[in-house]
Structure 1
Amino acid sequence: MSGVSRRVVMTGVLAAPMLARAQAGAPIKIGEVNSYTSQPAFLAPYRNSWILAVEQINAAGGINGRPLETIFRDDGGKPEDAVRHAGELINNEKVDLLAGGFLSNIGLALGDFANQNRKLYIASEPLTDALVWARGNRYTFRLRPSTYMQCAMLVEEAAKLPARRWAMVAPNYEYGQSSVRWFKELLTRAKPDVEFVAEQFPALGRIDAGATVQALAGARPEAIFNVTFGADLTNFVRQGNTRGLFEHRSVVSVLTGEPEYLEPLGDEAPEGWIVTGYPWEQIDNPTHTAFRAAYKARWNADPKLGSVVARDTVTAIAAALRKTSAIETEALIATFRGLTFPTSFGTGDVTFRAIDHQSTLGAFVGKTALRNGRGTMTDWRYADGAKYFPTDEVVRTLRTAPV
C-alpha cells in the first residue's frame, strides 16, 4: 500500500506528540474508518493527504490551540468490521466524531451506527443517495457528489448524443444499482424516446469481463453507460477493446476520469468516453496549484482524487471545529448544517446543505484521451454540485428522517 504497512493503517494514531504537548488543551480526536487494504488505489493517496492536512493544521496552532489527532481503522471492505471499529473508536478511544467510508454499503452501515449512537459521522466518499436521503439522519453528512448528482452531470452530455439504444453495466451493489436507476430516469426525462436494451450487474471485484462484453454486444446498443471501476474497469476495458465493443459506440462512464482508475489503464485507456474525473495536471488556479505542490513535496507523488477528498474532509471538519463553541455532537451538527468551506479544487466554496446534509462539492466532466501512452481528460469543465440536485420539494419526499 504505497509503503504504508497494514499495521500502521490499522492502528496508526496521527499526531505529533511533541507538538501536542506544546499546545494547550487535549487533542480533538477523529475516528477515521476506511477500506484501506481492499481499495488501496483510492485510499493510499487519501490517507497521505489526510496526514498532510492534519500536519499543516497542527503546525499552524491546531484548532483554537488544540491539536487534531486521527485514529485510523481499516474495515477491509466489510460493513460489519466498519461498525465494530466505530464502536471501539467511540467507547475505547473516546473520539469526538467519526469520518471516512468508501464503499456505499459501508457508508450506510456507518450512517446507521452514527444514528443509533448519536455520534457525528462525516462520510467522505460513499456515493449512494440513500446516505442523505432514504436512510439519511441528523448525525450523518456527506462530502462527495452523490450518484444522483454525478448521473445528472453526465446525462447533460449524454442527452446531446444521437444514440437511442442504451446498455448498462454496473457492479451489483448499492452504488451500481442506484447509478443505473438514476441515469435511466434522468436520461428518459431528457430524451423520452431512449430505449434500454441490456443491463449487466457483475459482482464487485469479480467481473467476468468476457461474458459481460459479449452480452452487451449481443444487445446491439448504440451507447453504453458504465459504472465499473478499479480492477473491474481494467478488465472490462481490455475485453471491450479486444472484442470491439466500443467501436462506433458512445460510452458514458462514472468515475473513469479519476486518475486512480484511468492511469492504470496505460495505453489501453479508451478515447472519447464522457466521464466524471479529476484532471489534476491541468487545473491551474492558485488554490489547487498550492495543494498539488504541497502534496508533491510531502509524498513525492502527484495527487489523486482521493487526495482531494481527504483534504476537503479535514478542511470541513476543521472549519466546523473553529466555529463551534463546544466540541460535542449537537453543537457540531448545528455548525455543519449550512457550513461553508473552500475546496482544494480551487473552484470556490462548498456548502453542506441544511435540508439533507449533502455538500455542494462538484466534479469535473469531460472526455477521456490518450496522451504519451497515458489516459487523461480533455474538453473538461467543472460542474458545480449546487446545480445538480432535485428540487427541495422532491428532496423532502426522498429523505424520510428529519434533519
Structure 2
Amino acid sequence: MITARALGSLAFAGAVALTFGRAASAQDTIKIGELNSYKTQTAFLDPYKKGWELAIEEINAKGGVLGKKLEVISRDDGSSPGDAVRVAEELVTREGVNILAGTFLSNTGLAVTEFAGKKKVFFLAAEPLTDKITWQNGNRYTFRLRATTYMQVAMLVPEALAAKKKRWALVYPNYEYGQAAAATFKEMMKAKQPDIEFVTEQAPPLGKVDAGAVVQAIDDAKPDAIFNVLFGADFAKLVREGGTRGVFKDRTVVSVLSGEPEYLDPVKEEAPVGWIVTGYPWDKIKIPEHATFLAAYQKKYNDYPRLGSIVGYATMKSLAAGIAKAGSTDTEKLITAFRGLDVVGPFGPFTYRASDHQATAGAFVGKIALENGKGTMTDIKYVDGATVLPSDAEVKKLRPAAE
C-alpha cells in the first residue's frame, strides 16, 4: 500500500525531475524572442515567418550555434507601441531571453528600440524602416537589418531627377515612416532640383485611406509627377481608384516598396505599369545566394518567396552569425560582434556598420510591368545599401546620444 508520505515523495521527485529536465533543455538551446504585427500585416509577415523558420531549420540542421540549437519564442505585438513594449518585457522576464528581434511598423520598432536601451537587451530590428532607429533614437543595444526609409528614397531619387518633372504630388501614410519618407524625398529633390514644386501632400491615416478623395485632390493639383509611400491595402485602394479615374496617365510615379510581391499580387492585372519602384523581382534575380535560397524556400513551402521571406531569413542568419562571432550570447559581446559583422544573405554579402548599427543590405529598383496577368518588375538593378548611406562622420551628427 502506498502511503501519503510515499505519494508526496514521488510527487516531489517528479517535480524535481521536471525542473532539471527543463533546465537541461534550456541549456541545450539559445532562445531568441521575436515579436511582430502578425495579425494586422499578414501579407508581409506570413512570408516573413516562413523565412525565419526556414533559416532556423537550416541552422539547427547543421548543429546550431556554439553547439546549441536556436529556439524562437514568437509573440504578436498588436501593431501598438504599448503592446510591443509589454510583449518585449514578457519575453525578457518570463521567457528569459536576452536577444530580441522583429517588429514591422516604425512606431513599434522605435518603442522596442527604447525598451532595449533602457533594459540593456540586444535588439535586431528586422523590418521597421524609420531612420530614427539607427540615428536620432539609436542606442548601443539596437541594430537594424532592412534598408531604411532614407536609403530607399535615395535609391529612387536619381530616377525621379531623370524624369525632369517640376510639379510633384506627395502621398504617404500619416505616421513616422510615411512622414519621414516624404520629408527625405523633398529634401533630396530640392537639393538637386531647386525649382521643384510640391503642389499637394496627401497624408491619410495608416490603413484608412479615402482613395477617392486622395486621387481627386491629386488630380486637382495638376502635378507632373507623384511620389507615393502608401503600402498594403492603402496602396491597392490608391492604385484601383487612380487607375479608374486615369490620374496616373501621362504622369511619372515614383513609389517606395510597391514592387514587392506582397503589395503587387493583390492588385493583379491592375498593377500600375511604368511606376518606378523599389521591390523584389524574385523570379529575375541572378545572384547565386538567391538561387540557393529560392530553391530551398520553394521546396519547403511549394510557393515563391516574398520580400518578407528575405527579411525573416536574413534576420535569423544574422543572429546566428553574430552569436557565432561573439562566442557567446552575452549582450556586450554580441554588440562587439555585430559592429562590423559580415553576413551572407539571399542578396549576397552585407555588413552591419559599426558607426550606426545599420546593415548595408540593399534593394532592387525597377519599373512595374505586367506579365501573365500579374504585376512584376522590369529594368531591374540592385542598389547596394552601402552606396546610399551617409559617411561615418555624418553619422556622428545624426546619432549624438547613442552610446
With normalisation by structure 1, the TM-score equals 0.93
Asked if the contact 1:31/1:97 (under 8 Å) is kept, the reply is yes
Asked if the contact 1:167/1:223 (under 8 Å) is kept, the reply is yes
Q: Secondary structure of the residue that 1:68 maps to in structure 2?
A: strand
User: Which entry has the higher C-alpha Rg, 1 or 2?
Assistant: 2
| 1:187 aligned partner, one-letter code | M
Q: Determine the structure 1 residue equivalent to 2:350.
A: 350
Could you tell me which of 161, 173, 176 is aligned with 2:175?
Answer: 173
Asked if the contact 2:362/2:382 (under 8 Å) is kept, the reply is yes
- Is 386-395 or 113-122 further displaced after alignment? 386-395
Map 1:8-27; keep pairs closer than 5 Å: 25-27=27-29
Asked if the contact 2:66/2:327 (under 8 Å) is kept, the reply is no
Deviations 1:37-95 (A, max 9, x none): 00000000100111111011111101121000000000121111111110000001001
Q: Secondary structure of the residue that 1:171 maps to in structure 2?
A: coil
Q: Determine the structure 2 residue equivalent to 1:296.
A: 298
- Return the alpha-carbon distance in structure 2 between the equivalents of residues 98 and 77 of structure 1: 16
- Return the alpha-carbon distance in structure 1 between the equivalents of residues 390 and 52 of structure 2: 31
Asked if the contact 1:43/1:306 (under 8 Å) is kept, the reply is yes
Asked if the contact 1:25/1:65 (under 8 Å) is kept, the reply is no
Deviations 1:120-159 (A, max 9, x none): 0000000000011110010100000111100000001111
User: Percent of aligned positions with the same letter in both sequences?
Assistant: 56
Q: Secondary structure of the residue that 1:159 maps to in structure 2?
A: helix
Q: Determine the structure 1 residue equivalent to 2:116.
A: 114
| 1:275 aligned partner, one-letter code | V
Unaligned runs of 5+ in 1: 1-19
Could you tell me which of 195, 198, 201 is aligned with 2:200?
Answer: 198
- Return the alpha-carbon distance in structure 2 between the equivalents of residues 154 and 362 of structure 1: 12
Asked if the contact 1:368/1:378 (under 8 Å) is kept, the reply is yes
1:28 to partner: Cα distance: 0.4
Q: Determine the structure 2 residue equivalent to 1:402.
A: 402
Asked if the contact 1:337/1:354 (under 8 Å) is kept, the reply is yes
- Return the alpha-carbon distance in structure 2 between the equivalents of residues 300 and 320 of structure 1: 30
- Return the alpha-carbon distance in structure 2 between the equivalents of residues 284 and 390 of structure 1: 28
Q: Secondary structure of the residue that 1:172 maps to in structure 2?
A: coil
Unaligned runs of 5+ in 2: 1-21
Q: Secondary structure of the residue that 1:308 maps to in structure 2?
A: helix
Q: Secondary structure of the residue that 2:104 maps to in structure 1?
A: coil
1:393 to partner: Cα distance: 2.6
CA spacing shift, 1:21–1:60, aligned 2, 3 Å: farther
Q: Determine the structure 2 residue equivalent to 1:286.
A: 288
- Return the alpha-carbon distance in structure 2 between the equivalents of residues 388 and 208 of structure 1: 34
Asked if the contact 1:165/1:221 (under 8 Å) is kept, the reply is yes
Q: Secondary structure of the residue that 2:151 maps to in structure 1?
A: helix
1:22 to partner: Cα distance: 11
- RMSD, aligned CA: 1.5
Asked if the contact 1:122/1:142 (under 8 Å) is kept, the reply is yes
CA spacing shift, 1:135–1:24, aligned 2, 3 Å: closer
Q: Determine the structure 1 residue equivalent to 2:325.
A: 323
Q: Determine the structure 1 residue equivalent to 2:3.
A: none
Asked if the contact 1:23/1:61 (under 8 Å) is kept, the reply is no
- Is 67-76 or 278-287 further displaced after alignment? 278-287
Q: Determine the structure 1 residue equivalent to 2:377.
A: 377
Deviations 1:269-292 (A, max 9, x none): 011100000000111233111111
Asked if the contact 2:147/2:359 (under 8 Å) is kept, the reply is yes
| 2:213 aligned partner, one-letter code | A
| 1:210 aligned partner, one-letter code | G
| 1:362 aligned partner, one-letter code | G
- Is 289-298 or 245-254 further displaced after alignment? 289-298
- Return the alpha-carbon distance in structure 2 between the equivalents of residues 43 and 350 of structure 1: 23
| 1:397 aligned partner, one-letter code | K
- Return the alpha-carbon distance in structure 2 between the equivalents of residues 50 and 391 of structure 1: 31
| 2:387 aligned partner, one-letter code | K
Q: Determine the structure 2 residue equivalent to 1:9.
A: none
Could you tell me which of 335, 338, 344 is aligned with 1:336?
Answer: 338
Asked if the contact 2:282/2:306 (under 8 Å) is kept, the reply is yes
Give the number of the structure whose residues are more often helix, by fraction.
2
- Return the alpha-carbon distance in structure 2 between the equivalents of residues 24 and 175 of structure 1: 38
- Length, aligned pairs only: 382
